[in-house]
Structure 1
Amino acid sequence: MRRVAVRSVVLAGLLAVGGAVPAAAAPGWAGPEADVAYHGRVSLAHGQLRIWLVPENEGPSAVPNATLRVRLSADLADRQELWQGCARVGPREVVCETGPLPLHGRGRHIGLVLDLRDRTPEVVVRVDTWWNGGATDRNHANNEHVVLALDTGDAYAF
């Protein structure tokens, strides 16, 4: 059942990116407003990138589901074991559903262990919202992050 939900969330994001304008983006849309935020940490060691994050919604409305995107400056290895609710969408991109984001609440914790194609001394990690469930989010400062992770094993918070 979970795979069907992931496919529908990813499909909705693809349609939005592919040029179809969802109703929530249409002029005059009076849909819910939410403030989705991501907080977490990133570490890189020996060609393996670890990302742990928690999506939050600071309101004023609940969000039934959203999709976050993780983009890397380095290629992923061909084979990845991803958390349930996550899917690879490109050579350097992974998307994950957040699950319900209640008003002033948190979504499910998301943990990714991503193997890189080649070992590299650093990776730039970009985290943002790919699809927001049709809600308006006027504050992108807390859901668009860029983190430089050095191959030291140290954790970098965002």
Structure 2
Amino acid sequence: MEDLGIDQNMTDELFNDLLKQYEEKKDTLYKAIEKQNYKEIHEIAHFLKGASLNLRLSNLALIFKTIDEEAKKETDISIIKNLADKFYNFISPLINDRNTKKENQKSANKNIEIDPKIKNIVLNTIRVYLETQDEQKFQKDKKFIEKLLNTKINSLNDLQNILKENK
């Protein structure tokens, strides 16, 4: 936190985003390993190394640096797979915990009663964005909406689901 000059909430948010990236790249990485596609392994490992370094997580970045280097040398694929397995075995409890918290938050969100006036403002803001795609204006409103609804908005699908749930 101190190195990055950010508060605890932002740190948590960035770390959760990193976990999401690890999770999203997992299948692609293992498919590349299965196909022995060293170029794709290198690209994924390089990306995840950079993402880890952005948060100053040098030990995690070192794992991806090693995978990246081994992919460039086209090392025996079992060595690369072993490195990936060790990483994902290590990180999976954090990913599972993140997913559990997200599911619990979704359940909790359904029980929260929002003042109808506020709900209309939020829903109208989302509708306007979906119709106009005015990204700049929406980004200004997004944090406020997330706090009011006590939910994270990561994609267009999230917005559409909010609208569907509140019809």
TM-score, normalised relative to structure 2: 0.27
Higher relative CO (Cα under 8 Å, sequence separation at least 6) belongs to 1
Q: Looking at CA atoms only, which structure, 1 or 2, has the larger radius of gyration?
A: 2
User: Structure 1-normalised TM-score?
Assistant: 0.29
